Structures are given as structure tokens and as C-alpha cells.
Amino acid sequence: MSIRGFCTFAKNLYIGESVKRPAMVRWKLKHGAGQLFIYVITSSEIPDGQIEIKHCAFLKQKYYQRHPAFIYGIAGSYKEALDIVLKMFAEADESGMTGDVRGYLNSALGDN
């Protein structure tokens, strides 16, 4: 199995307002470079789970080199990540997929 990077991104990525230079943040996340105040919103690794908020340092583990995380959003703080998740749930509710935010994100944004 080849090493593909630590993560992959949704085409229409949710990016928090406090994130400076999002292209650089994406590059650092993909290559496992350290960042102090970045949180990511990923798909859950639990089959029945929805989404998870993780600190970017969590993605530096060797596991993620072979099994890249799929990222739906990037935030500059945990509170901002919660706000983005609430926005995702509101959009899913408006589209008629109440309670299935992961299904909404996969259909609206495209999965892998």
C-alpha cells in the first residue's frame, strides 16, 4: 500500500473565518506538518457515526499515512469547529436529511 498523505479533502471544504492562509493549512495537514490552533471536521471512523472534531495533531499518527482521514471542514478553534458543525446540521435539516449529516455531506460535497 502506498503512502498517500495524512488526509484528503472535500471539494467544497468548510473553512472557518479565523483560518489564515487556508491553502497553506491544507498543505500542512496533507503532509503532517505541525500546527497549533487548527481543528478539523472529519468523517467518523465508526460505521454508524456521523462526523468528528479532531485537533490536527491527531492526524500526525502513522495510521493516517496509510488510511487518510476525509476532511469536511477546517477551523481555527474548537468553538469555531462547533459552529461549523451546527451550520452543517442546519444545512442537512433544510435539505430534508435531518439527523444524517454525514449522508448530506457525502451527497452535497462529494465523498472521495
pLDDT along the chain (112 residues), means of 10: 74 92 92 88 88 92 87 95 94 86 79 49
Asked, for residue 2, whether it belongs to a domain, the answer is no
Q: Say if CB 14 and CB 41 are below 8 A apart.
A: yes
What range defines the domain where residue 86 resides? Answer: 7-110
* Its pTM surpasses 0.75: yes
Asked, for residue 1, whether it belongs to a domain, the answer is no
Asked, for residue 98, whether it belongs to a domain, the answer is yes
Conformation bin of residue 77: beta by default, left when phi > 0, alpha when psi is -120 to 50: beta
Q: Report CA 85 to chain centroid distance, whole Å.
A: 10
How many domains are there within the chain?
1
Q: Which amino acid is at 2?
A: S
pLDDT of 41 = 95
Q: Count the neighbouring beta carbons within 10 Å of the beta carbon of residue 95.
A: 13
CA atoms within 13 A on the CB side of 101: 17
Asked, for residue 31, whether it belongs to a domain, the answer is yes
Asked, for residue 59, whether it belongs to a domain, the answer is yes
